[in-house]
Amino acid sequence: MEIVGKKSQGLKVTPFEDDKTAIIAFNDRSLNFYVTDALKEQLKATIQAKMDAGFQHFVLDLDNVKIIDSCGVGLIIVANNLTTSKSCKLYLSNIKPFIVKIFEIMRIAKHLAIYENEDQALEAIKASQK
């Protein structure tokens, strides 16, 4: 099994123009050292392009993610910092309980908007727009 040089499976972006919301799903099962460099640039470019188009809310769907390391956590922090710096909001959904536990241990959970699923995140976005 050759892991070195593994390529990222990329992102899937679902825009909701009416709500100025984009759901960004990771296609990778692992957010680790081997895929995060390429993913970081792709994620930053995707979020920046959507912000330039007027989007204000971003839901990161981690449903496919089964494994995360410190590089993967860094990827989430980069996305959170990017959106916060532009007065936008990042929401995380479909996170496995052990990944939430990692966020809690690292003391970053309190800085992240974590929702059980996409529907709850979208409801929170709609409530914030009223």
38-75 confidence digits (pLDDT tens): 899 999 999 999 999 999 999 999 999 999 999 999 99
Beta strand pairing status for 11-16 and 21-26? antiparallel
9-42: pLDDT as tens digits: 999 999 999 999 999 999 999 999 988 888 999 9
**Domain annotation for the chain: domains and CATH numbers:** 18-128 (3.30.750.24)
